[in-house]
Structure 1
């Protein structure tokens, strides 16, 4: 420094010692960061000072950095986590340790830096965290200076969370948020084990609102999935030079409070394209991306939902599910899985693959892989319908990563062998198995030599309609009394052949509907015009709470009918009580659609007469006749009704023999619906789902009159036989015949009703 009298430093002591006056305002632009999200070309996100300042102040309030803390700034500046890695320590008096260029890609470098630089706070994308934990195991290091580990950017699996807590002994928080909302908007302390295998994304940070809405912008109830919308001070100004996209993604807030609107606050929401649901206590579970929704064999499937359930499994460290097309253009689900290292070490290596960014990873095969796959399929079957269970499971030692540390889906290998078969091919061993292979090949339109006896019907393209056709063919050919539920339960040719050979020609009144290990039991009573197999998907969705048993139709399988409601209910109850006694149940849970609901109510009256008080009945649009409805029913021509239903059912099923079997039962079901109940209920809790749409495919004037009249009856006349208040749920997007399509809503309200 110059010491001359003209030096500007000479009079430094006379200058003000206070901070400079801020020149920027809260609404001024802080930075532009480019993101492509999960799809599309990069777009510049305009973040204002108030948004990122709110985010940083919340972070310091929540985690309390101090002068002794050291943060490793390793995230590239093209990724928004870099913003808080840099500025958070600077506003809190902590130390920033800058990683070398591309250091975020080098796990060994990160490992060494944590120890040599005494890093106490670090961020990992879950994919990179999995690789880091592998490095820890390789180094056999048990102590770390880390006190806080933050994950975001991808879904965190249960097993990865458990391993991180075990190995690092640090605080672990799971954060969620898009670049468009100033980095993160929710947080969850992973030490909280309230949800078992579910890893929530938690609750909103300060000055942030989260809405989960349906396609009509209505808030969804707890347990039902919807799209995440974000409001609050953290919202970006929009996209740089993209006014149309800004208007599409940043929309007017329909929930803004009047006092906020008057001050120009919370006027917009950002629509994320992410799926989530509220948990019972208000925390949020992330379910994936809306643009991860695919359609396979007519079913809409959320890939994120499959990934979420897979990630709950204790052996799964990471997973990603994609839909891949085979040579004929048919889509199949493929799950790519990283297992725990102690399991991976037992697998046979098939090949090493280089990703598009030059990373090497291994793929595995062998008998152990088949065993692991079967275990995972059985696990998924507890919670998901068959069409959502992947056809292929590919096991890798690590997932290839993009520049930002997320999973590089484009580099994942196409599964082998043939997409027709989900197992190694095993040829039929008996004449019966050969005949079954021929029937499957005809129904599924597959080459017969591609069907293994261990392949599953639904994984080869089968669905519920084809299952009915298969059942009918087998019953005709082998003189068996198989039910549709048997096709769901015995899915392979090997199992079906065993059942056909050993099946007794007898009716089974009680059928296990899911593979749940839940302690509580629910009995699902068959509707009219069908058996209990209609509840197959609903039963799987209830598996977390209930072991579900179907009560199948006696009259559908016996020439001599029971036409008295009380007698039929008494018959079913005798079988229900056997299960109740064997499992030491305290509460009767009875669910029924239409006629099944009336049977449930009559069973409840019998139980109350015996002194039972712990009874819950779940009615799916059941209704009780009054004088008007009885007179209306008396005008009904049964033959016209049969013809109407034959036409209706033929739209979904081409098996005329099965349709005839259903419609031949209509006369006795019509008689059952007219019976009076034997007791007024006093203690039974009733949840009624009431549909609000008319069935337009049923053309008889009877249905229109019945629908119009029941709309005027708030509780479908159910209130005539109970003294307790009825919990009513109106389904505005369902008719009587389509009520089971509202599965998410049904499940949510059933679970809430049981609390």
Structure 2
């Protein structure tokens, strides 16, 4: 591809370069801090607290165990845990020369099996009773005795281009695809301190589920900079007053939240983050009013909007929201982050002028190796970077559209294809459609996204069925896909609308009809009050029967937080979020609320990561990922 000097300038002007230790490894930089400040606090997860020396030695012993078991260079080690064990396991895998594969415990067994099979996982490190259904060789970290293993660091040759982890994202070809990320990619993220500065005296939060690449930012952003990493209880994140208490109790300085969760917390109490020095967010388009409200209530908190897909290692652009006001309609995604490049190109891969929409191509040191085991797809999405000075550099084709403003900031405009963001997730509707077509009784299907009344994006499924009903289809789909991929609303049609070319006409799909509410006589006053709150939180009418299940009708964890807040205000008591998960129907929740109102008030204590069994807050909060 030949370019004029002006075109070359347009491309090269979108690069941000900053010195960083790109020749080092993730565990090597962590070990530097273990040597420099061995007694400094490294982890605090519930009752478990480890210094940098203790974390280093614990990971060393586990690494020696893995090496003795035959783990070799770039071997894939699965991690299935919610507590500090996943960080110990990740460090141990890296020290052994292997890479880790995050396996979110909330995912259905079929999904976890697919990921392990696709990645070629040989060992699964698990803890907290999770991962027992995953086939293969297991190491139970809760019972493993490592006393006989040396605490010294293994002597294994690992370089900056060695594989560090494989993280799975939604795929348009019928299954998730594994993004292969190197040590150098992570080091660029953690040690290029322009958008996010983490100090050795800081306390940072690890709250994202391990299959969400924000966990990379949280974990290594802290541990490669000498900071303390605190595991925040999952249910605390969804209840504003509990989040405020936890942030204060732990003295949190640095925090990341998915944009959708930030919106929910800010709506309930925008001053929650007033004591946090740095608050970053990302995963979907930010709401200008929310950011303006946060700025007014948290004047000393730096608010940073991050943008970037998993393939670029968490984020490639950042926008400091200091000057954001209520009059600003759009929150930009900002400028290239350190050692990142952003090119806006046309269909011929030529730079477009400022103010003109173009597809975003991302370059720099964050560009991942590619898709594991998918050479053809890697070649389609990871292209040679014609603007880079570094020989052999590549750029990632995002499929996102943006334009550059006069001040140089980028504005996100949407997608080239059907990919959508749902509560921070990157979702390919084609993957859901393929999974639905594989179910008995499903003849035709189309999946689209729309905006709910409260501003969050929801998935809608339109199905043509034979010998099946939508409720049964939804239940079976929930056994195969993670919660974030299960549509909130299923609409049964006699046939799908087609355009003149014989393809499904997505624009002609009907707006889902509101379910007819049951007559008020079928419900008690308490049950009707519960149903009214549900409908307000969901932004739509729902089946008013007493046996209606909140999650079966499409409610999610963010919706549950809205319900909890409204019920607390209506009943004058602090309604525990877990109450909604334990009593998900109209009838059972109404009864539980009556009992709660008559019980003595109790003070809720912080819940460590991993507490709870079955269907709980931690499971549903796992809906957040890119």
The answer, yes or no, to whether TM exceeds 0.5 is no
TM-score by length of 2: 0.45
TM-score by length of 1: 0.37
Computing the radius of gyration from Cα coordinates, the structure with the larger value is 1
Specify which structure has the bigger relative contact order, considering alpha-carbon pairs within 8 angstroms and separated by 6 or more residues: 2
